[in-house]
Structure 1
Amino acid sequence: MARPEPDVASDDAMDSFLEKFQSQPYRGGFHENQWEEEFEKVPLFMKKAPSEIDPKENPDLACLQSIIFDEERSPEEQAKTYKDEGNDYFKEKDYKKAVISYTEGLKKKCADPDLNAILYTNRAAAQYYLGNFRSALNDVSAARKLKPCHLKAIVRGALCHLELKHFAEAVKWCDEGLQIDAKEKKLLEVRAKADKLKRTEQRDVRKAKLKEKKEQDQNEALLQAIKVYFEDEDRAELYRVPPKSTLLQILQHPRYFIKALTPTFLVCVGSSPFWNNYLRERNVHQIK
């Protein structure tokens, strides 16, 4: 087999380039006094990407971003890219940006139910750490509609119910998850805590009802003991006021008279010595 002839033109071009390289200083290198800052701008060596990518400041990074989020890719590919981006933000504990990334992934409306369930579940985790427990609960509920046996969604839903003090619901979610994996440690922990708090809550409700009933009985007894009258001085007669009567109703009574612009009543405790002695020689009428 004949050997190919060497490309003389190509060799001459390379020699020319090397001679030029040796005779002229390289202009693309880092500056000695700020090389660390310039090094940090190279996408490959960045420790942390900037929050906002300015094409003028970081043209290489902007170019990479445009490739990653290319709208010509399939919805599934784009959704997965946003999921990965959200996971990176989550690892950095930047939960707000994680929520935004997962939301963008869901907006792609890809046809993969598993991927969408993961996006919902991951967004729920970020919302949970932001303290948005109701939003997180909505997300895990959406994830379970797509994937009913998604254990991570069940665990996070149980945690949300626990934070919202929905103890019975937390126990229910834990029981459903334990049917899938009876040894899931987190579910066992949450269930034990939720069950204890549920029983404490039920006990407190019972105590509150008993206290309310006791106060009502005391008020009823007090109302039964207190007797209220007004006096018709012209006839030397007393009229007993019904406990549930209003002031207006009594003032409108034909035998009630106001003196010195001040309504007056006689209030005493029934069956007391004063009550027995005072009423002994007086005619008492019952107002209906």
Structure 2
Amino acid sequence: MSEPAIPKVGWRGELVPSIKKFLDAHPRLQLGGVEGYTFERRHHTQVFGIHSLPDDRIHPIKEVEYTAICGPHGTIPIRVLYPSSGQEKRLQGKAGALIYFHGGGYTVGSVDEFENGLRLVAEESGCQVYAVEYRRAPEFQFPTQLDEYSAVIDWLQGKEGKRRGVDPNRVCGGGDSAGGNMTAGVTLRRLDEGKKPLAAQMLLYPEARLPFDTPAATENNSGYYLECNGIFSFADHYLPRGTPPAHRYVSPGMQPARDLKGQPPTTVFTSGFDPLRDVGVEYAHKLSEAGVDVHWHHYKNLTHGCGMV
């Protein structure tokens, strides 16, 4: 059963000194800041891209495969991380797989910036990681990204997953921030469509809904990497005219608990110094009310994007 005591809002402690030092050293590193998304795209790649890291900071991995599939909107590049720790199950056809959609307000970010952390996830879990270079907004808007997510799930649950040693019943989805939002959205959509579900979903500080009426939006409005007021622009980039922000697949966190039933096991991570903190906590609370097997982990001293900074 679900853990019983998930609150509706979170809290914060004391900001980790190393994160404060990093943010102070990179004052222009913001998400949703005044520089605009084109600057943020370039700057994030320069700071976080795996090609920019010294060799001694790159996590080892058994194998990296660069591949692509033909999706509903064109070619979808996918970077596959095969861990040494999962080799035996891969050979047995019993490997687990995590499809990962990165964050960045639907607009910023690339697999290059997330590969290093995902290498660690792969080796620590023994699970293959499929990092997807999905089409970003504003050039491509909702539901393009969910179409691509679902296409990758179908691909991995089929013969191409089997060819890579993946058990079709062990395909999970995950993502951070906007990637967490899209993971929650595609999980609900596949449930509604009667498609084979994900085995589990992993939501890292997800944008479960717009956060502006929460304590976290006031406490963490500015200065902690994700600029809360910049989320308006990300929502505008992502949503085509005529699609309300309350749409079930856009704002899963706005749905009543009764409409969230039947989802796969879910893990939700939240951070104290994050304007999205309380919408993530709220979503975990609603999932618990809906009877979903949900596990919530709160890191009161960390920021949004803590896995990167």
For the aligned pair, the TM-score class normalised by the smaller chain equals under 0.3
More strand by share: 2
Q: Which has the larger radius of gyration?
A: 1
TM-score (norm 2): 0.20
Q: TM-score, normalised by structure 1?
A: 0.21
* Bigger proportion of residues as helix: 1
